[in-house]
């Protein structure tokens, strides 16, 4: 009997008792109706969304700092702090005007100089920001509410870059804070968004508190993800970190917390049985599972070895290992882009479809020259997703006749070892597992993992000129049709060269008490529009 079984059984027993309808204990009844207690996906260990790019930091920062533009549920950039923008016919000069009345949490007005400093810091760290910076001629404040970005050549994806929800987002901070070195952490958290960060109540690893900013001026439009009117119905939001999923499940059932961002799949059936709890898909953009092969060293420096693995890989095996038997939570993914988004494509995806052909895969592997050398497979055991994928991969490689050197370790070690470009026997590696947020895979802009520019590419360092050519084509595309065509070609090129191995698309649930309303599906938890009854 392992720990997971015990917690599942006990949480299940708790649910059976609670489906009879038990009232919350005194501790929960005393909580104010305008205070929401939220269990985030991870610990808020730092609070600088430019310095630290973890999703949990981005999610908290989205309450505290506003953006110039916001991405909406249709994945379109919409004006947020900006009132209007103009671009010259040659596409090189952008002039933006801020909405009137915007204030920081210290009562100071939001001015163009703050925006310039914020964008300067952001563009030093963000991949799209770096692209703009490379084209930048000048970024200047024209007056208090107007600023201008002059480029050497057009950058058609400018508004998307300023609106995107991928970390790091272009959050607007006061100039004095934004002038901090982008590689050093800020210590002052004065924001521009609808909630203030209560620094005095912050216990990293345990609790973070956000209080409503009374002077925030929301837009009048209906909110949609990061766009529209961020109308706060709550006075206070408490993030309570719970490292143990069973504790979080029990606390939600007991009414000690109101919303649990990402319940693990094992506990979802228990929560679904509780009549006081709602459970639904949290982020419709989901995640894409991945294992990356090291293109620098044998056997995966030969495309035939990489393709052999892809020919034998069963995405269903991976997905069931991650999410269990709930078929609503996964789908096969013969490509690299997020399903149900405008640029989704299966062009070139035949290698991942149909019956798995081990004989052909073994033959191709032999042709690549593989002769039984150890394949160093890094597997982080402290991340359930990577652990599950690692077990499936080890089995797959063994079936292909490969000699697996299974390195069971933790995520911190994988994180540093994967950066080693030394041969596998000298501290390097042959493959590691990870996953990408679907929101980062809707197009090539935030999608670091799809880049294949050799030494400059993400870990594994794939070199695929065909892929890179189509990434450039997408950036230059003038309309959606051109974008779709470029992505189709990109998908095929990346699969032909096996930039990485996609293991499938999977979703996860979110769960909340039924006295909470206004929770919307999205790539991050949105708190505007959320309310709570007593």
Partner 1 sequence: MLSYILRRIVATLPVMAIVALFVFSLLYIAPGDPAVVIAGDQASPEDVERIRQSLGLDRPFLVQFGSWVWRILHGDLGTSIFTNLPVSAMIAQRLGPTLSLMIVTLLLTVVVAVPLGVVAAWKAGSLIDRVIMGFAVFGFSLPVFVVGYMLAYIFALELEWLPVQGYTPLSSGFWPWLENLILPAIALGCVYIALVARITRAAMLEVLQQDYIRTAKAKGLGQGGILFIHALKNAAVPIVTVIGIGIALLIGGAVVTESVFAIPGLGRLTIDAILRRDYPVIQGIVLLFSFVYVLVNLMIDVVYTLVDPRIRY
Q: List contacts with partner 1 (CB under 8 A).
A: 3, 6-7, 10, 13-14, 17-18, 22-23, 25, 27, 43, 45-46, 51-54, 125, 127, 167, 181, 183-185, 187, 203-207, 240-244, 246-248, 250-251, 253-254, 256, 382, 409-413, 415-417, 419, 434, 436, 440, 446, 448-449, 456, 458
- Closest to partner 1 by CB, 202 vs 358, is 202
- Least distance (Å) from partner 1 to the CB of residue 172? 21
Per the rule left: phi > 0, alpha: psi between -120 and 50, beta: everything else, 276 is: alpha
* Beta-strand relationship, 236-240 and 431-437: unpaired
Q: How far apart are CA 365 and CA 311, in angstroms?
A: 10
Task: Quickly count helices (H) and strands (E) in the chain.
Answer: 16, 21
- Closest to partner 1 by CB, 87 vs 380, is 380
How many Cβ atoms from other residues are within 10 Å of residue 491's Cβ?
24
Residues 197, 47 contacting (CB under 8 angstroms)? yes
- Least distance (Å) from partner 1 to the CB of residue 207? 7
- Least distance (Å) from partner 1 to the CB of residue 150? 26
Say which DSSP state 256 is in.
S
- Least distance (Å) from partner 1 to the CB of residue 436? 8
Bridge partner residues of 434 (DSSP):
290
- Closest to partner 1 by CB, 226 vs 441, is 441
Residues 234, 63 contacting (CB under 8 angstroms)? no
- Least distance (Å) from partner 1 to the CB of residue 222? 31
Q: How far apart are CA 53 and CA 533, in angstroms?
A: 34
- Closest to partner 1 by CB, 82 vs 501, is 501
Give the burial class of 11: count Cβ atoms within 10 A of its Cβ; 0-12 exposed, 13-18 middle, 19 or more buried.
buried
**Nearest-CA neighbor of 46 among 56, 33, 34, 32?**
56
Instruction: List, in order, residues 6 or more apart from 417 with CB less than 8 Å away.
Output: 378, 409, 427, 428, 429, 432
- Closest to partner 1 by CB, 463 vs 520, is 463
- Least distance (Å) from partner 1 to the CB of residue 368? 27
Residues 310, 501 contacting (CB under 8 angstroms)? yes
- Least distance (Å) from partner 1 to the CB of residue 26? 9
* Beta-strand relationship, 403-409 and 374-380: parallel
Give all strands (DSSP E) within 324-381, no chain letters. 330-331, 374-380
- Closest to partner 1 by CB, 384 vs 415, is 415
- Least distance (Å) from partner 1 to the CB of residue 11? 8
- Closest to partner 1 by CB, 78 vs 274, is 274
Give the burial class of 233: count Cβ atoms within 10 A of its Cβ; 0-12 exposed, 13-18 middle, 19 or more buried.
middle
Instruction: List, in order, residues 6 or more apart from 13 with CB less than 8 Å away.
Output: none
- Least distance (Å) from partner 1 to the CB of residue 231? 30
């Amino acid at each position: 009997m392992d720990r997971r079984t015990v917690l599942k059984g006990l949480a299940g027993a708790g649910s059976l008792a609670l489906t009879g309808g038990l009232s919350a204990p005194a501790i929960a009844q005393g909580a104010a109706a305008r205070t929401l207690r939220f269990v985030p996906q991870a610990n808020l260990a730092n609070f600088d969304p430019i310095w630290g790019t973890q999703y949990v930091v981005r999610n908290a920062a989205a309450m505290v700092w506003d953006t110039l533009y916001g991405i909406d549920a249709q994945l379109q950039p919409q004006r947020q702090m900006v009132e209007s923008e103009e671009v010259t016919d040659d596409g090189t000069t952008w002039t933006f005007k801020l909405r009137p009345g915007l204030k920081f949490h210290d009562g100071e007005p939001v001015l163009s100089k703050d925006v310039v400093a914020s964008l300067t810091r952001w563009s030093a760290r963000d991949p799209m920001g770096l692209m703009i910076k490379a084209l930048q001629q000048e970024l200047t404040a024209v007056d208090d509410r107007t600023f201008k970005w002059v480029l050497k050549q057009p950058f058609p994806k400018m508004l998307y870059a300023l609106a995107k929800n991928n970390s790091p987002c272009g959050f607007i901070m006061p100039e004095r804070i934004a002038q901090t070195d982008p590689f050093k952490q800020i210590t002052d958290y004065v924001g521009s968004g609808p909630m203030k960060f209560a620094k005095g109540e912050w216990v990293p690893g345990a609790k973070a508190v956000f209080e409503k900013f009374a002077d925030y001026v929301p837009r009048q439009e209906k909110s949609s993800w990061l766009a529209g009117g961020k109308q706060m119905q709550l006075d206070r939001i408490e993030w309570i970190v719970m490292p143990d999923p069973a504790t979080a499940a029990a606390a939600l059932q007991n009414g000690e917390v109101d919303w649990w961002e990402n319940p693990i799949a094992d506990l979802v059936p228990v929560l679904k049985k509780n009549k006081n709890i709602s459970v639904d898909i949290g982020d419709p953009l989901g995640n894409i599972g991945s294992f990356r092969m090291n293109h620098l060293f044998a056997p995966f420096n030969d495309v035939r070895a990489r393709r052999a693995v892809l020919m034998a890989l069963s995405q269903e095996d991976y997905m069931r290992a991650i999410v269990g038997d709930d078929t609503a939570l996964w789908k096969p993914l013969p490509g690299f882009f997020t399903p149900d988004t405008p640029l989704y494509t299966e062009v070139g995806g035949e290698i991942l479809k149909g019956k798995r052909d081990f004989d052909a895969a073994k033959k191709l592997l032999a042709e690549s020259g593989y002769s039984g050398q150890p394949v160093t497979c890094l597997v982080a055991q402290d991340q359930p997703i990577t652990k599950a994928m690692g077990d499936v991969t080890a089995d797959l490689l063994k079936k292909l006749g490969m000699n697996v050197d299974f390195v069971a370790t933790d995520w911190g070690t994988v994180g540093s070892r994967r950066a080693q470009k030394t041969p596998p026997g000298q501290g390097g590696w042959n493959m590691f597992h990870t996953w990408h947020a679907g929101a980062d895979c809707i197009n090539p802009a935030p999608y670091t993992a799809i880049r294949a520019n050799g030494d400059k590419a993400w870990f594994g360092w794939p070199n695929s000129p065909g892929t890179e050519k189509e990434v450039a084509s997408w950036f230059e595309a003038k309309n959606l049709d051109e974008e779709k065509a470029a992505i189709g070609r990109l998908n095929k090129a990346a699969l032909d060269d096996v930039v990485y191995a996609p293991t499938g698309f999977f979703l996860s649930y979110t769960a909340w008490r039924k006295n909470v309303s206004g929770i919307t599906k999205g790539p991050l938890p949105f708190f505007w529009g959320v309310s709570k009854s007593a």
